[in-house]
Amino acid sequence: MTRTAGIDSFDPLVVRLRAAGCVFAEEEAELLMDAASSPEGLESMAVRRIAGEPLEQVVGWAEFAGLRILLDPGVFVPRRRTEFLVSVALGLPLGPAPVVVDLCCGSGAVGAALLSALPGCDLYAADIEPAAVACARRNLPPSPVYEGDLFAPLPAGLGGRISVLAANVPYVATSDIPFLPAEARDHEPLSALDGGDDGLAVARRVAQGAREWLAPGGHVLIEATEAQVPLAERAFTDAGLSARVAVDEEWEARVVVGTARPIRGQ
């Protein structure tokens, strides 16, 4: 939809968005106008946004690591702080053609960012949510995206070969789910948010399963809160992996890295 450059704070759409609680109403109005193909389409999108649907789902894309990630309704919206997980993964010692898996991939944002930075990598992705799998397949061609619970749908031939396992696991404690912003609580799948009693139930399953899938010296990465870090490290060490923590204070992001011990002599 064609629009004139700039938009002021008294534009009717801006006023409606601000009244609905949109803090960056001018910026959101511009994005909606850019995404709409007609006045009717703009109104439909405005109604969805005002009703509380995440802006990224309304306009159909999210910005992540400099990429435009296609996004569908009901799919987890990639968080900008997760770009730190990508940067940590890219700082690991990797060969020229690493095998990379984006587990709990959602829209495939992490996988897309890694593939963009590592064009020689062999990328696979998986998620339990059908809508997420369909979305990731649009963002990750020609890489295969599998539907299923964690490692279950991955090809058996990947066992012992994975260089980087980026697992964007849910890590919100079940008791904290009601206190999440309504955008997440009402419009994103619970499986992408709920990490069980202490938020680390899925992370522990990933840690326990990772050892048989990682190559010697391969790495698994998850996000965790500051309070969860000691428990997450213990989950990795209990699974026979070494563990370290990377911290980005600006984003208040913490990534726990588990590493499979290399074969002696390598």
pLDDT digits (tens, 9 = 90+) for 68-109: 999 999 999 999 999 999 999 999 999 889 999 999 999 999
Overall average pLDDT of the 160-189 stretch:
96
12, pLDDT greater than 60: yes
- pLDDT tens-digit series, residues 225-257: 999 999 999 999 999 999 999 999 999 999 999
Per residue in 21-52, pLDDT (tens digit) is: 999 999 999 999 999 999 999 999 999 999 99
pLDDT at 6 over 70: no
Q: If you average pLDDT over every residue of the chain, what do you get? A: 94
Nearest to 32 by CA among 10, 108, 54, 19: 54
**Quick one: which of 154, 55, 26 has its CA closest to 18?**
26
According to DSSP, the residues that pair with 242 across neighbouring strands are 259
Query: For a pLDDT cut of 70, what percent of the chain falls above it?
Result: 96
Residue 223 belongs to what H/E stretch?
Answer: strand 214-223
Quick check: helix, strand or coil at residue 93?
A: coil
Confidence of residue 4 (pLDDT cuts 50, 70, 90): very low
Give CA–CA dist 22/190, Å, rounded.
Answer: 24
Q: CA of 64: how far to CAs of 39, 72, 109, 203, 225, in Å?
A: 28, 15, 7, 23, 21
Residue 113, CA distances (Å) to 20, 108, 141, 205, 218 in order: 33, 9, 13, 25, 19
Give the global pTM: 0.93
